[in-house]
Chains A and B, each alone.
Chain A
C-alpha cells in the first residue's frame, strides 16, 4: 500500500486551495502530473472489484495471449484520474458527486507505463439548483499513444 501512503487521503486538508464551481473556467487546462503505473496498483484495483482475470495479474499467462504481457483493465482510469492530479485539484473536493461519464478505449495501459493526463473542464451549467461541470480527460502513455479518453459530469458541492 506504498502508493496510498504517499497520497493525502484526507480530502478536507487542501480544500481551501481548490476551485469552487464559480472559479472553474471551462477550457482552462487542469494541472496534471505523470504517474508510473505498477503491477501492484493494477492488482489492487482488480481486487477492489473482484477481478481475477490472469491477463491483469499473471505475467506468465499474459505472455501467452495476443496482448504479450500484463495489461491493466480498461477501467484503470478510475485510479489514473486521482494519480495524475494533485491534492488541490477540484475532483477531490469533498461532496463532489459523479453524475455520469463515457469512456473510449484505444490502447491498454501496462505496468511500467508512465501515464500522463490532459484534462480540463469543458463546460459548466446549472440544472435543478445543482451546479454541474463537464469534464474532458485524455490519458496517454510514454509513447504518446492515447490510452483512453473520457467525458464526465460532476455535481459540485455548494
Chain B
C-alpha cells in the first residue's frame, strides 16, 4: 500500500530494519564515519570509568542508531514522494557487540503549513530485550506537488 499524507493516521507504525551489532560492524562504522574515538575501539580504555559510568567494553557509535533511523525514514519516505526533513535523537542505553537493534516509528501528528504538509514521527531504537537504546522525533515533508525533489 502506498503511503499518502491523506491516508496516514496518528498511531500508525513504521518498522525499521533489524541490525546485528558486532566488533566488525563497529569497526566498519569507524572507517565510514572517520570517528575513531577509543570508546568504539579500545577495550582497555573502556575498562576505565567515565565519571560515574563504566561501560565495561567498547560500545557502538550513537550515530549508528542515527544512521539506522535515517534508513528507516528514507525507505518509508521516498516511495511516497516524501522528504525526510528533520531528526532529533538522544541515546538512552549503550549498545554493545552481540546486540541486535531495530528502529521503529509511530506517527504522532500531521501538520499542514502554508506551503506544504508535514508528518511528525516518534522514533525509537530497541534492542533484543525490547529495551529502548535511543529515542527521538522525526519530521517528514509530504509536498503538495509530487515532483518536489528540491
A residues contacting B by CB (< 8 A) are 1, 3-4, 7, 9-12, 41, 44-45, 47-51, 53, 55, 65-68, 73-75, 78-79, 81-83, 92, 94-107, 129-130, 155, 157-158
Contact = CB atoms under 8 A, between A and B. Distances in A.
A67 B84 CA distance: 14
A121 B89 CA distance: 19
Interface string B67-109: 1101100110010010111111111000000000000000000
Instruction: Give the interface SS of chain A, mostly helix, strand, loop or mixed.
Output: mixed
B29 A94 contact: no
A49 B17 CA distance: 10
Interface of B: 17, 19, 25, 28-39, 45, 50-52, 61-64, 66-68, 70-71, 74-75, 78, 81, 83-91, 147-150
A36 to B, nearest CB: 14
B38 A79 contact: no
A48 B25 contact: yes
A102 B86 contact: yes
Nearest to B32: A48
A95 to B, nearest CB: 6
Contacts of B28: 47-48
